């Protein structure tokens, strides 16, 4: 029993040591994998939030330019200054778009492309590169905000955020726009 008992004891200690090592290794790998996923999710969230912020900044700059060009608003900045502000906002939006392209999954990238196209349509109309009526201008805004909502949905799905805002209450809300100024009587 001396030799056999010692061999069984040694085998049990070795088996216990290997099992502990294997278990610790797997747990460490899972922890590292979780940390990496969390790190990338944080970066994705930052990229998505920045992109939406930049899209909205461009829309705001476009609205100022358009309304000034159309005589709907008067501000102390010149049309050239407003054009330059829009150009700067577009540059920042482009950089934010590239971050989304680097980090996002395919569904988010597709929605981001559609959102970018809708935002460019507003920029072009504000500059006068394309023309149209005030109602068409407003339709461009409704379209871009619908794409923003779709981007939110895709980003939430990519990040694993539960819930959706496709509900009747959210979708029924329309873009709040001022009424057309009445034409002065001649």
pLDDT tens column, 106-130: 999 999 999 999 999 999 999 999 9
Indicate whether 110 belongs to any domain. Answer: yes
What integer best gives the mean pLDDT of the chain?
86
Q: Which residues contact 172 (CB under 8 A, 6 or more apart)?
A: none
Give the residue among 25, 12, 91, 102 at the shortest CA–CA distance from 58: 91
- pLDDT confidence of 171, banded at 50, 70, 90? very low
For residue 177, the 8-state DSSP code is -
Decide: pTM greater than 0.75. Answer: no
- pLDDT confidence of 155, banded at 50, 70, 90? very high
- pLDDT confidence of 180, banded at 50, 70, 90? low
- pLDDT confidence of 11, banded at 50, 70, 90? confident
Indicate whether 17 belongs to any domain. Answer: no
Give the residue among 90, 88, 97, 105 at the shortest CA–CA distance from 40: 105
C-alpha span between 142 and 107 (Å, rounded)? 22
Q: How many domains does the chain have?
A: 1
For the segment 175-182, the average pLDDT, to the nearest whole number, is 54
Indicate whether 171 belongs to any domain. Answer: no
Indicate whether 146 belongs to any domain. Answer: yes
C-alpha span between 127 and 132 (Å, rounded)? 12
Q: Which residues contact 138 (CB under 8 A, 6 or more apart)?
A: 175, 177
For the segment 94-104, the average pLDDT, to the nearest whole number, is 95
Indicate whether 69 belongs to any domain. Answer: yes
Indicate whether 115 belongs to any domain. Answer: yes
Indicate whether 91 belongs to any domain. Answer: yes
100: domain range? 42-161
Tokens of 117: 């196209």
Indicate whether 106 belongs to any domain. Answer: yes
């Amino acid at each position: 029993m001396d030799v056999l008992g010692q061999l069984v004891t040694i085998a049990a200690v070795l088996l216990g040591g290997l099992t502990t090592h294997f278990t610790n290794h797997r747990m460490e790998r899972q922890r590292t994998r979780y940390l990496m996923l969390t790190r990338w999710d944080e970066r994705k969230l930052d990229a998505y939030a920045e992109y939406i912020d930049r899209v909205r900044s461009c829309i705001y700059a476009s609205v100022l330019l358009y309304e000034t060009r159309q005589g709907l608003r008067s501000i102390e900045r010149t049309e050239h200054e407003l054009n330059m502000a829009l150009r700067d906002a577009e540059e920042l939006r482009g950089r934010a778009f590239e971050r989304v392209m680097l980090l996002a999954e395919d569904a988010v990238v597709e929605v981001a492309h559609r959102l970018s196209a809708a935002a460019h349509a507003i920029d072009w109309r504000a500059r006068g590169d394309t023309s149209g009526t005030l109602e068409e201008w407003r339709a461009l805004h409704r379209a871009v905000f619908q794409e923003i909502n779709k981007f939110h949905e895709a980003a939430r799905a990519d990040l694993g955020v539960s819930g959706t805002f496709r509900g009747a209450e959210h979708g029924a809300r329309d873009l709040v726009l001022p009424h057309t100024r009445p034409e002065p009587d001649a």
